[in-house]
Structures are given as structure tokens and as C-alpha cells.
Amino acid sequence: MAAVTADQTTQRTAGTADPADAARTAAFDAAVAADDRIEPRDWMPDAYRATLIRQMAQHAHSEIIGMQPEANWITRAPSLRRKAILMAKVQDEAGHGLYLYSAAETLGTSREEMLDKLHAGRQRYSSIFNYPTLTWADVGAIGWLVDGAAITNQVPLCRCSYGPYARAMVRICKEESFHQRQGYELLLALSRGTPAQHEMAQDAVNRWWWPSLMMFGPPDDASAHSAQSMAWKIKRHSNDELRRRFVDICVPQAQALGLTLPDPDIRWNEELGQHDYGAIDWTEFQEVLKGNGPCNEQRLDQRRTAHEEGAWVREAAAAYADKHAARPGTAGTTAQPVEATA
Amino acid sequence: MTAALALGDDALVLSHRLGEWAGHAPVLEEEVALANIALDLLGQARMLLSFVGDEDQLAYLREERAFRNVQLVEQPNGDFAHTIARQLYFSVHQHLLYEQLAAGESELADLAAKAVKEVAYHRDHAEQWVLRLGDGTAESHERMQQALDALWRFTGELSEPVEGLDVDQRSLRDSWLTAVSSVVERATLTLPSGPQSGAWTAGAGRQGVHTEPFGRMLAEMQHLHRSHPGASW
């Protein structure tokens, strides 16, 4: 919050010093108001740029860290069909991460910089991935609930004011919907399977339900970035609004699955035409955000280790590329002076 | 033993090993590439095993001694260079083999014709990385050479005859050696000089005699399926 205020102050100061800036700000505001897309070469307020970098980096990091809880079950998937589906899904997530890093790079940051910040704990990823996958059914619960919550959050981002982000979300949402249906179908097979399988499915839903609701972020009255993001049309709906929409979608789906949601307070509110639900444990949410969730340390360690142990591979690729870019003859000529490429 | 079982087991086991890389790769592009190759191989395994019987029964309910894969594909991932060396040796072999099968008239011809396009990509991926690592930094050169040396003794089994497999084994062996030597040389590395198999390894995997890490791999792979007999997933 403090950072946003400081940025805005700078903006205003710059604006008074340079009359051209006032015109730029007006043009930006008009474009946002008209639902035009802001593109990488367009002028934009520093705070808008900073907010987008923060959000898009966090989104990309979530895809990458989010591979871990699911990859945890690739080697134990109980049928070859399920194994193939899970492998394809984890591969898609790596692809989404790449896509989002590229989109964020249009704002003047780099993938290396974002990864360094992730590894240093200076940029976040979604709190949900700090929970462990303890049984096979967790893979289904993640597909149904976690991907379901992500889609509820992300579909409105397809109309986000920043063009590269909006376009990334169109592609990503298509694949996410597919994953979500696969997760639902996995849980359905378990729920209708043996008593042990049914119990496994119910246990997974019990453990993933509340963390999934937390994915929508803090309640509206405690959300630091919401008002500004909505004004900029980065966000289109409030956290609580999206959370409520998600609950409304899940209740009938749980019934169809033959599973219950672990909240005795969920009931249809005739008057409001929506579901009421119980209180979220925001203390747990804050603890997970602070790094004290069940897997925070493990997730970051694995990411850092993969990066550090892969350093020699990346260095080799760079050295090879340098050698072969600089070597005369590979381009088909022998007369090319080395200085020309240096 | 049918040829489909041998080739299906090769693809199944290597796919599993590559699946272990998910979330651990040195760069995001390799997360995508390794998962992609693993997925191709799993698709091949499913088709091949389905020729023989029920894919899940074959994958999850056979014990170590009943698996017919070559020992090369069951070798642990090691560092990235070991994974790439294993990929080079296997994918060059698989590519040449599938090209022959695709041109032949066996029951595997159609399947091979489809898979050969995937395998050509796997082979290219492995060759490119051998070049980068071999001709990259001093460290990567060293690691790549070590990996090629360490896995060399498992390569002899690739050209052991497989019952019911309609291929010219001699030309397969010669083409494999030519292709691998060429990549190794371009990568400024040395072709390993030791025997391609100890007396005890020649054809062993095909007869169900495996290396120790394999049993542990199967324990992990089969545990859940075996814990719920008769369940469907």
C-alpha cells in the first residue's frame, strides 16, 4: 500500500514538471475508461506497471510451483491413462509459466529477475501450493477445486486492461477448464468406486475446500490492492464476489459427485439468491502467506535446488551458443572477421 | 515373449524415469520437453502393451522378473548429462528401429510409422543437448563424457535380437554406432572404448534380469494400484 502511494506521488510530481505527462495520463485514463487495451509500447503510470509486474510474476510463479504438488503423484498414478493425463497437465503448467513470464517481460522485467525474486522470497506464489498432496485423490481435488477457483479468478482477466496479460489468459483458461473437468472426472470415478476410494475422495475434498476459498485473497475490506486494480480494470470483480460465485458453482457439483463440503454453515439463502457459507480461518491464511504453511519451505527449496543444480546446464547452453555464433564458417563464409560479431 | 512386450516395456520404463524430472529440470523449457518426451513414450507403451493384453495389468501387476525392457532405460536419471546420454543412446536406437519397422509388414508397422515422427524429435533433442553439453563449458564437457562412459556398457543390449522382431539386426547395430559416433565427435567428446556389455548384461533385461534400482522404481510405480485390488481409476 505504501509503495503504491509513493509511486503515485512520484507520478503527480512528474506530471506537474512535464505538461506532456498530464496529456499522457489523460490518454491512459481515457483508454482504460473506453475498455481499450493498453499495449507494451503505450505509456502507462509507473504504479500500473509495477502492479502488473507483481501480479503477473506471482501468477507465473504459481504455475511453476504448482507443478510440484501434482508432479508428486506422477510416478504413483494408479493407471496409465491417469498417468498420461497428469503428465500432460504438469507439462501444460510449465507452458503456462513460460507464457506468463513472456507476457510479464513486455513490461520491462526479465524471467531471470523474476525467478531470482521468487527464490529470494521477494515475489510470491499462490498460497494454495503450500499444502501437501497426501493421496491420489488430492490430484482430483486440485483439478476440481484449485483449478476451478483459478478459472473463476482468471476468466475475468481475459478482459483485463493490459493486452498481453488478457491474451495470455484466453489461452490459459481454455486449458485450465480442460484440467478442471479432468479433475472432476477423477473424483467422480473415486466417489463411485470402492468404499476406500470414496473415503479417499471425501478426505481430499475436506482438506482442499478451505484453502481453495482462500485463493480468492483476503476479504474486500482487507484487500490492499483491490480498489486500485479495479479502477485500472486489471481486476473486474472483488475477492468476495468471486469467492461467492465459486461457492455457488461448487455446491451442486459436490452433490453430483456424491461428496460433501466440510462446512456445516453452507445453505441456500433464498432472499439473496446465493449460498451463505461459514467463516474462513484468516489466521491460517496469514500464516501460510508468511511462509509458515505446511510446505512453504519444501516448495521453495525444491525450486531453488532445481535452479542451482541446473546452473551448469544453462551455462553450457550459453557457452555453446556464444561459440557457435562467433565461429566463422558456421554462417557459410570463411572470410568473416571475428570483430564483426564481437 | 512378444516383441510388442519388449518394446512396450522399454517405452513404459523410460517414460517413468523422465516423469521423475517434473519440477526438477534445469530450465523451464526442459520441463516442457522432458514431459513431452515422457508423454510420447507413455503413449507408445500403452499401444504396444495393448497388443499384448490389458495395459494396466501388464504395467502394474507384473513383478520385476517379468519385465522385458533393456537395462539402459531403467537406469536412474543421475544428473542432466546422464539423462541426456541415456536419451541419446536409446532414441537413436529407437528411431532406427522404428524406421525399419515402419517400412516392414509386421503387426507393429502402423504403430512404428506413427511413433517414428515422435522419436525423430526425441533424437534431435538428445543430439542437440549432447552438442551443447559436450562443446559447452569445461564442467559440462566433463559431465557429458562421464555420463556417456557410465552408460556405455548398457548399449550392447540394444542390438541383441528380439524374438519376433522383424528387423535387420546387423544394419541396426552399424547405423547406431555411426550415428552415435558422429554426434559424440561433433560434441568434441570421445566415444567410450569399453565393452558395450559385460557378459552378464547381454540381453539380460529382455530375459527379466534387471539392475537393482529397477525394483525400487516398480515399487513406487505399482504401490497404489496394488493397494486397491480390482479397483478402477
Window A:4-23, CB contacts with B under 8 Å: none
- Tell me how far apart the alpha carbons of residues A164 and A50 are, in angstroms, rounded to a whole number: 15
| pLDDT, greater one: A22 or A91 | A91
Contact B148, B189 (CB under 8 A): yes
Cβ–Cβ gap A312/B19 under 8 Å? no
Of all residues in chain A, the one with the smallest CA distance to B223 is A76
Of A74, A82, A314, the CB nearest to B233: A82
Q: Is A335 on the interface with B (CB under 8 A)?
A: no
Between chain A and chain B, the number of residue pairs with CB atoms below 8 A apart is 141
> Which residues 6+ apart lie within 8 Å of A329 measured at CB?
none
Residue A15 pLDDT class (50, 70, 90 cuts): very low
Q: What are phi and psi of B20, to 5 degrees?
A: -65, -20
Of B28, B39, B136, the CB nearest to A88: B39
Question: pLDDT tens-digit profile of A266-325?
Answer: 999 999 999 999 999 999 999 999 999 999 999 999 999 999 999 999 999 999 999 998
Cβ–Cβ gap B28/A316 under 8 Å? no
Cβ–Cβ gap B225/A87 under 8 Å? no
Q: Please tell me the distance in Å from A251's CA to the nearest CA on chain B.
A: 24
Q: Print the SS3 string covering chain B.
A: CCHHHHHHHHHHHHHHHHHCCCCCCCCHHHHHHHHHHHHHHHHHHHHHHHHHCCHHHHHHCCCHHHCCCCHHHHCCCCCHHHHHHHHHHHHHHHHHHHHHHHHCCCCCHHHHHHHHHHHHHHHHHHHHHHHHHHCCCHHHHHHHHHHHHHHHCCCHHHHCCCCCCCCCHHHHHHHHHHHHHHHHHHCCCCCCCCCCCCCCCCCCHHHCCCCHHHHHHHHHHHHHHHHCCCCCC
- Tell me how far apart the alpha carbons of residues B136 and A319 are, in angstroms, rounded to a whole number: 5
φ/ψ bin of A108: left (φ > 0), alpha (ψ from -120 to 50), beta (otherwise):
left
CA distances from A101 to A62, A94, A241, B160, B212 (A): 11, 11, 28, 47, 41
Question: pLDDT tens-digit profile of A64-120?
Answer: 999 999 999 999 999 999 999 999 999 999 999 999 999 999 999 999 999 999 999
Cell numbers standing for residue A47: 504504479
Contact A253, A185 (CB under 8 A): no
Q: Which chain A residues have a beta carbon less than 8 Å from that of B46?
A: 80-81, 84
Query: Torsion over CA of B22, B26, B28 and B32, rounded to 10 degrees?
Result: -50
- Tell me how far apart the alpha carbons of residues A250 and A255 are, in angstroms, rounded to a whole number: 9
Closest Cα partner for B168 from B75, B233, B106?
Answer: B106
Q: Is A341 on the interface with B (CB under 8 A)?
A: no
Q: Please tell me the distance in Å from B9's CA to the nearest CA on chain A.
A: 13
Cβ–Cβ gap B27/A313 under 8 Å? yes
Sign (positive or negative) of CA dihedral A180, A182, A185, A189: negative
Q: Which chain A residues have a beta carbon less than 8 Å from that of B38?
A: 87
Cell numbers standing for residue B5: 512386450
Of all residues in chain B, the one with the smallest CA distance to A196 is B228
Contact B156, B196 (CB under 8 A): yes
- Tell me how far apart the alpha carbons of residues A168 and B7 are, in angstroms, rounded to a whole number: 40
Mutate which of A67, A74, A101 to test chain B, going by most B C-beta atoms within 10 A? A74
Long-range contacts of A259-266 (CB under 8 A, 24+ apart): A259/A187, A259/A191, A259/A201, A259/A202, A259/A205, A260/A202, A260/A205, A261/A205, A261/A209, A262/A205, A262/A206, A262/A209, A262/A210, A263/A209, A263/A210
HSE (side-chain half, CA atoms, 13 Å) at B187: 34
Is residue B111 over pLDDT 70? yes
ipTM: 0.97
Window A:108-137, CB contacts with B under 8 Å: 136
What b/e readout covers B84-93, taking b as 16+ CB neighbours within 10 angstroms? bbbbbbbbbb
Residue A4 confidence (pLDDT)? 39
Cβ–Cβ gap A78/B35 under 8 Å? no
Q: What are phi and psi of A328, to 5 degrees?
A: -65, 150
Is residue B122 over pLDDT 60? yes
DSSP string for A154-184: HGGGGG-SBHHHHHHHHHHHHHHHHHHHHHH
Cell numbers standing for residue B11: 517405452
Residue B166 confidence (pLDDT)? 82
Q: Is B77 on the interface with A (CB under 8 A)?
A: no
Q: Is B109 on the interface with A (CB under 8 A)?
A: no
Mutate which of B17, B29, B39, B80 to test chain A, going by most A C-beta atoms within 10 A? B39
Cell numbers standing for residue A124: 510470491
| pLDDT, greater one: A8 or B196 | B196
Residue A328 confidence (pLDDT)? 59
Q: Is B142 on the interface with A (CB under 8 A)?
A: no
Nearest-Å Rg of the Cα atoms of chain B is 17
Residue A2 pLDDT class (50, 70, 90 cuts): very low
Contact A117, A87 (CB under 8 A): no
Cβ–Cβ gap A80/B46 under 8 Å? yes
Cβ–Cβ gap B231/A314 under 8 Å? no
Residue A9 confidence (pLDDT)? 41
Mutate which of B14, B17, B18, B31 to test chain A, going by most A C-beta atoms within 10 A? B31
Cβ–Cβ gap B233/A319 under 8 Å? no
Q: Which amino acid is at B169?
A: Q
Contact B134, B189 (CB under 8 A): yes
Is residue A12 over pLDDT 70? no
Cβ–Cβ gap A64/B42 under 8 Å? no
Residue A309 confidence (pLDDT)? 97
Q: How much is the pTM?
A: 0.93
Closest Cα partner for A29 from A185, A232, A298?
Answer: A232
Is residue A11 over pLDDT 70? no
The residues facing A274 across adjacent strands are A269
Q: What are phi and psi of A59, to 5 degrees?
A: -65, -45
Residue A224 confidence (pLDDT)? 79
Q: Which chain B residues have a beta carbon less than 8 Å from that of A90?
A: 22-23, 35
Q: Please tell me the distance in Å from A139's CA to the nearest CA on chain B.
A: 12
What b/e readout covers B148-178, taking b as 16+ CB neighbours within 10 angstroms? bbbbbbbbbbbbbebeebebeeeebbebbee
Instruction: Name the pairing type of β-strands A267-269 and A274-276.
Output: antiparallel
Contact A156, A237 (CB under 8 A): yes
Q: Is B184 on the interface with A (CB under 8 A)?
A: no
Q: Which chain A residues have a beta carbon less than 8 Å from that of B80?
A: 310, 313
Q: Please tell me the distance in Å from B21's CA to the nearest CA on chain A.
A: 9
Q: CB count, 10 Å around CB of A236?
A: 16
- Tell me how far apart the alpha carbons of residues B135 and A232 are, in angstroms, rounded to a whole number: 50
- The share of chain B scoring above pLDDT 70, in percent, equals 97
Cβ–Cβ gap B43/A84 under 8 Å? yes
